[in-house]
Amino acid sequence: MSKEKVILAYSGGLDTTAIIPWLKENFDYDVVCCCIDCGQGEELDGLEERAKLSGASKLYIENIIDEFCDDYVMPCVKAGAVYENKYLLGTSMARPVIAKRLVEIARKEGATAICHGATGKGNDQIRFELGIKALAPDLKIIAPWRMTDVWTMQSREEEIEYCKQHGIDLPFDAKHSYSRDRNLWHISHEGLELEDPANEPNYDDLLVLGVTPEKAPDEGEYVTMTFEAGVPKTLNGKEMKVSEIITELNALGGKHGVGIVDIVENRVVGMKSRGVYETPGGTILMAAHEQLEELVLDRATYEVKKDLGNKFAQIVYEGKWFTPLREAIQAFIDVTQQYVTGEVKFKLYKGNIIKAGETSPYSLYSESLASFTTGELYDHHDAEGFINLFGLPLKVRAMKMQELEK
């Protein structure tokens, strides 16, 4: 009788490498590794040999960069989804699409369980598991870091020693470093001096995607983008798919010190955590989209969209992607994007994104209305009656208060 299969969400790092022999030893599973490529770059080098050396029977490396950008990043961009006013959801957006692909591989392999290496204190355990539960409620979920009676390793040194005991000699050292998560949209940094909010980040050691504004060029750089129905189509006159535009914007933003955020955020599990996020291309894309949107959305729609954008960010942050609520809000957002079409121009300079003009065939801006001269659509005399009615509740209350004071 063949062994049961488990799909391991595999990054190739020390944690998931140690999990392979641990799963075989404690559960007698046939371990199938699955590395989901959301744009981690060189982090994927050498994974096949490492997984095989560690005892995996098979390794999938699944490139889902375009699916990630088109179906998960862009809905958040369109929604203007920013968690707690700063975090552009880089890790949060990637987890549901990773969970989706893990389930697809589990079905293909006939696996009975999915294993992840997320810790018991973080948000990722929630995001992975809510995604898996929504798509495959029958699959068992194994989270080693929560299984403290079986998973007894508590340090990198212990994990390295465990691997050596199982004949796995890997190029990891016990030197502690930042805890990072990277994809095409961003890279996050936690740990070391960042664990104390009183400490300034050591940006010289920390930054991966760019430089600080102080080290950015003294000369600004103009960028032009076009959008169709809320989706970026061209960058500096060149037509590209979304993933290519984000890649180019990452290079531009990193060069000019754009998109570095130091935040103390509220995790879903109830604690505060401090991290530094680099999102150079994403910060530019969000700003460019908003720059065009303010030209074409009416006031009432824009107001409601802002509220729903905050709600959308919370939903994504909490791992509730595969829910009717996310679908419903996204449907509203998609309607608002029908006319978000046009061109924006801005200048990148030392961490800043400086507007330099915007045009749209659907612009609601009327120069004749906005100017100080009287246009044919606006009669200044109408304002008096409007103010009288608009201010009527205030006036009635004030009159009542005067009456009571007498």
CA distance 203 to 192: 12
Mean pLDDT of 92-112: 98
Mean pLDDT of 149-159: 90
What top-level class would CATH report for the domain 177-296+338-357?
Answer: alpha beta
User: Is residue 155's pLDDT more than 90?
Assistant: no
Instruction: Name 329's bridge partners.
Output: none
Confidence of residue 379 (pLDDT cuts 50, 70, 90): confident
**Helix/strand/coil for 91:** helix
- State the pLDDT at residue 46: 81
Q: Which of 179, 180, 262, 363 is catalytic?
A: 179
- State the pLDDT at residue 176: 65
Strand ranges, E, within 159-220: 179-182, 187-190
- State the pLDDT at residue 121: 92
> What are the pLDDT digits (tens) for 214-242?
999 999 999 999 999 999 999 999 999 99
Q: Which of 37, 124, 181, 243 is catalytic?
A: 124
- State the pLDDT at residue 49: 86
* Residue 247: both structure tokens together: 């890649």
More confident of the two residues 96 and 369 = 96
Mean pLDDT of 34-38: 96
User: Is residue 331's pLDDT more than 90?
Assistant: yes
CA distance 275 to 283: 17
Mean pLDDT of 80-89: 98
- State the pLDDT at residue 42: 79
Q: Annotation-wise, does 44 bind a ligand? A: no
User: Is residue 111's pLDDT more than 80?
Assistant: yes
Mean pLDDT of 19-27: 96
Contact 189, 277 (CB under 8 A): yes
* Residue 401: both structure tokens together: 């208060």
> What are the pLDDT digits (tens) for 251-272?
999 999 999 999 999 999 999 9
Count CA within 13 A, CB hemisphere, residue 35: 23
Q: Annotation-wise, does 10 bind a ligand? A: yes
Contact 319, 126 (CB under 8 A): yes
For the question of residue 179 being annotated catalytic, the response is yes
User: Is residue 26's pLDDT more than 70?
Assistant: yes
Mean pLDDT of 139-162: 93
Query: What sign does the CA torsion over 327, 333, 335, 341 have?
Result: negative
- State the pLDDT at residue 1: 64
Q: Which of 95, 182, 274, 326 is catalytic?
A: 95
Instruction: Name 317's bridge partners.
Output: none
For the question of residue 54 being annotated catalytic, the response is no
Q: How far is CA 385 from CA 290, 375, 388, in A?
A: 34, 18, 5
Q: Which residues contact 361 (CB under 8 A, 6 or more apart)?
A: 341, 342
User: Is residue 396's pLDDT more than 70?
Assistant: yes
For the question of residue 262 being annotated catalytic, the response is no
Q: Annotation-wise, does 188 bind a ligand? A: yes
CA distance 215 to 186: 20
* Residue 94: both structure tokens together: 């990637």
Topology (CATH level 3) of domain 3-164: Rossmann fold (3.40.50)
Q: Annotation-wise, does 12 bind a ligand? A: yes
Angle at CA 116, nearest 5°, toward 79 and 23? 170
Q: Annotation-wise, does 191 bind a ligand? A: no
- The count of other CB atoms within 10 Å of the CB of residue 319 is 24
Give residue 259's region: left, alpha or beta (phi > 0; psi -120 to 50): left
Q: Which residues contact 39 (CB under 8 A, 6 or more apart)?
A: 65, 68, 182, 183, 184, 185, 243
> What are the pLDDT digits (tens) for 185-220?
999 999 999 999 999 999 999 999 999 999 999 999
- State the pLDDT at residue 345: 98
More confident of the two residues 41 and 358 = 358
Looking at residue 324, its amino acid is: P
CA distance 53 to 174: 20
Contact 292, 273 (CB under 8 A): no
> What are the pLDDT digits (tens) for 270-322?
999 999 999 999 999 999 999 999 999 999 999 999 999 999 999 999 999 99
For the question of residue 15 being annotated catalytic, the response is yes
Q: Annotation-wise, does 14 bind a ligand? A: yes
- State the pLDDT at residue 12: 87
Mean pLDDT of 44-57: 87
- State the pLDDT at residue 373: 64
